[in-house]
Chain A
């Protein structure tokens, strides 16, 4: 046991818990969101320490990156809605003489009341204590690692996590893609999207940077997707990187969103689930069971599903960021 590593673990955990605490104790929502993004990045470091580079990649790209962008755009939306409600009504009182700061204050949460302190603290301590005690007394187990290891040669890929995600436990991944799709349908069911309340940055710097960044993001995304078959990486991380590139493009032109025609967009968003289902039903018909593959076909089928899943995840993440059904689409 390396003393330095133990010290690193302790400092990292103290940092993670401290940042989470500051985030939840913050009365300013913007501050809370920035702390939450920091929390995600620190978590990615912890996942590396726990020998989970796949999760670290996903956490940095999805947990910190995409979730952070979603949270920030939500704050901006809330701010603009509140400003509109204040100024847009003839009978509402005029805006506070304090000016824009009054609007900023709308995104504050007052400190919680005293009377919830003791019950909440007791409840959290009891639940956390029980959880920790149960984990401490859990019997030592090697888990499913030997089983996965023994079947790697029939999985079609060389990376255990990808083998579990797209072969051994493909059903989980299929349902996961379905949940992503359902979340988007839920967001779309709330109505048309309004413009992202972002001010387009003046000057050539943002478009210039994007012209450099987006191709790099696309190459990185495709590499991460390809690498997933033999090294950490795969459809989710690649989808998140491509989705981030898409969000940057949307942010660069917030007021002239290219209104994607409904059908191609919908096809792209459902491609992952549809192809997965198709392969699953084919496996059932061919006698390998639902979502089972013939050994020789495992690799090409996994790659095919991963490409479709990457496309769907990237498009869905951008669509969730924009929020709301595409305008001019009455289907």
Chain B
């Protein structure tokens, strides 16, 4: 009985519980990254994966007796600032892509008629006063 209780207590210590939670978050983010198509959702999925990594780092840093490892904490702090910069740049790219193509969805499969390059030429064509092609399907309200 006391052996079992000890095992449970050992398992529930923050040093094991939080790294496990971090692994779950990483897997969850990975799953979302594969399954979702909207680029903003994919950026959110990447951020959730990153948060899982931070949770692993901080959980491992808090293991054992005494104060937590400040090097792992400093690394995580660096990671958070890098993550926000990368997210901001990625979001700027999504806005730019939407401006060029009219949608921010990455669909699986080979590129089709909605390829961005064609859309850019269409935009220029339109600017010249010529007739504009109909927008791609994603552009049309469902």
Query: Which A residues fall within an 8 A CB radius of B?
Result: 1, 6, 9-10, 13, 16-17, 20-21, 23-26, 29, 32-33, 36, 39-40, 43, 46-47, 49-52, 54-55, 58-59, 62-63, 66-67, 70-71, 74-75, 77-78, 81-82, 85-86, 89-93, 95-96, 98, 102-103, 105-106, 108-110, 112-113, 116-117, 119-121, 123-125, 127-129, 131-132, 135-136, 138, 140-145, 148-149, 160-161, 163-165, 168-169, 172-173, 176, 179-180, 182-184, 186-187, 190-191, 234, 236, 313, 316-317, 320-321, 323-324
With A6-B12, A120-B34 as contacts: A77 and B95 at CB distance below 8 Å: yes
- Taking a contact as CB atoms under 8 Å apart, the answer to whether A23 and B81 are in contact is no
Q: Which of B37, B60, B71, B105 has the most CB of A within 10 A?
A: B71
With A106-B141, A132-B23, A140-B64 as contacts: A91 and B59 at CB distance below 8 Å: no
Q: How far is the CB of B107 from chain A (nearest CB, A)?
A: 10
With A39-B48, A51-B67, A131-B27 as contacts: A109 and B20 at CB distance below 8 Å: no
Enumerate 15 A-B pairs (CB-CB under 8 Å) in ascending A order.
Answer: A21-B28, A46-B21, A67-B87, A70-B87, A90-B132, A91-B134, A92-B134, A93-B140, A112-B37, A116-B35, A129-B27, A132-B23, A165-B78, A169-B71, A172-B78
- Taking a contact as CB atoms under 8 Å apart, the answer to whether B70 and A145 are in contact is yes
Q: How far is it, in angstroms, between the C-alpha of A267 and the C-alpha of B81 when the chains are bound?
A: 20
- Taking a contact as CB atoms under 8 Å apart, the answer to whether B28 and A160 are in contact is no
- Taking a contact as CB atoms under 8 Å apart, the answer to whether B38 and A29 are in contact is yes
Interface residues on B, range: 35 or more
With A128-B26, A135-B60, A176-B82 as contacts: A51 and B68 at CB distance below 8 Å: yes
Q: How far is it, in angstroms, between the C-alpha of A53 and the C-alpha of B31 when the chains are bound?
A: 30
Chain B, 29-64, CB within 8 A of any chain A CB: 29-32, 34-38, 40-41, 44-45, 47-48, 51, 54-56, 58-64
Q: How far is it, in angstroms, between the C-alpha of A164 and the C-alpha of B77 when the chains are bound?
A: 11
Q: How far is it, in angstroms, between the C-alpha of A186 and the C-alpha of B91 when the chains are bound?
A: 11
Q: Is B110 an interface residue (CB 8 A)?
A: no
Closest to A236 in B: B81
Q: How far is it, in angstroms, between the C-alpha of A63 and the C-alpha of B55 when the chains are bound?
A: 13
Q: How far is the CB of B2 from chain A (nearest CB, A)?
A: 13
Q: How far is it, in angstroms, between the C-alpha of A49 and the C-alpha of B28 when the chains are bound?
A: 22
- Taking a contact as CB atoms under 8 Å apart, the answer to whether A63 and B84 are in contact is yes
Q: How far is the CB of A85 from chain B (nearest CB, A)?
A: 5
Q: How far is the CB of A107 from chain B (nearest CB, A)?
A: 8
Contact with A along B77-104 (1 / 0, CB 8 A): 1101111111111011111101100101
- Taking a contact as CB atoms under 8 Å apart, the answer to whether B92 and A164 are in contact is no
- Taking a contact as CB atoms under 8 Å apart, the answer to whether B48 and A131 are in contact is no
Query: Which B residues fall within an 8 A CB radius of A?
Result: 9, 12-14, 16-32, 34-38, 40-41, 44-45, 47-48, 51, 54-56, 58-64, 66-78, 80-89, 91-96, 98-99, 102, 104-105, 108, 126, 131-135, 139-142
Q: How far is it, in angstroms, between the C-alpha of A173 and the C-alpha of B77 when the chains are bound?
A: 10
